[in-house]
Amino acid sequence: MRPVPILVYHSVATDCAPAYRRWLVTPREFDGQLRALSARGYRPMTVQELAMRRRGGLSLPQRSCVITFDDGLADFAEGAMPVLTARGFPATLFVVSGLVGATARWLAPLGEGARPMLDWRALRDLQEAGVEIGAHTVSHPELDTLSRARARREMADSKHALEDGLGRAVKSFAYPHGYAAPVTRRLAEEIGYLAACRVRHALSSSTENLFALSRIIVTSDLTPERLIDLIEGGELPVSPPSDRLVATGWRAARRIRAWGRTLLPDGLHERSGRP
């Protein structure tokens, strides 16, 4: 069975701060990418559908793909949703629950701290239109640098807040910044999610841990032709091991950095520039 490309987007819009441009694709660029996937015969599905099929032992279409969006930015409704609807593509939108109706303040280092987030009415409308709403924590921290108790609160409280606000079970989760660790994967399962997504810039195989689904980062320089080459040309790894040595070392460095930030006065904390 072919591995599944799970794509992760952040913004579909036309304007942004220069430092954020890498993470934004225009509606025209987004449409070109979906058109290319359709032309190659890809069958899109949500993260929940992928998880349910795998859990039920059901086969996937030979050319399956998943479109995901992180954060819950307002430009999803304005820029991405019209394209998804026109192309007949479902999508999974992972939302930072504590900032619904506010702004993406964690993006301040990239000049986008005032970028609007979707409000509850917009989220309910998107859900009714067929978008799967997943959780993305309460405040968008690097979960693998937190204590187990704090990480659990971020993951569980986000699920409960979204379920209360949307009136429907939330079954999928995405780790902020793409960072996952064995403890956060176990937490995702214990809390009641069916699946959770990391990043890893890799294709997802049929045997990959459902709580460590690999995704491919879509950036502004990824043309439709390059996208197809990337997912079909053998350049990307398939479901790499859950914790490679380099990832473990980088996690340790970030934990030290996070510990150091707790010693700084309020207002002097550094923040990751990665969406």
What CATH number does residue 203 fall under? 3.20.20.370
Determine, yes or no, domain membership for 221.
yes
**What pLDDT is attached to residue 1?**
72
**What pLDDT is attached to residue 250?**
42
Contact 260, 190 (CB under 8 A): no
Determine, yes or no, domain membership for 54.
yes
Provide the number of structural domains found in the chain: 1
3-state helix, strand, coil in the chain (%, to 5): 45, 20, 40
Q: Which domain holds residue 162?
A: 6-261
Determine, yes or no, domain membership for 148.
yes
**What pLDDT is attached to residue 242?**
55
Phi, psi of 69 (to 5 degrees): -130, 135
Contact 239, 31 (CB under 8 A): no
Two structure tokens written together for 186: 């176990």
Determine, yes or no, domain membership for 273.
no
Show Cβ contacts of residue 73 under 8 Å, excluding neighbours closer than 6 positions: 10, 11, 104, 115, 116, 117, 118
The parts of the chain modelled with pLDDT lower than 70 are 240-274
Show Cβ contacts of residue 192 under 8 Å, excluding neighbours closer than 6 positions: 159, 171
**What pLDDT is attached to residue 267?**
31
**What pLDDT is attached to residue 200?**
87
Contact 180, 202 (CB under 8 A): no
**What pLDDT is attached to residue 272?**
39
CA distance 113 to 97: 16
**What pLDDT is attached to residue 179?**
83
**What pLDDT is attached to residue 27?**
98
Determine, yes or no, domain membership for 1.
no
pTM above 0.85, yes or no: yes
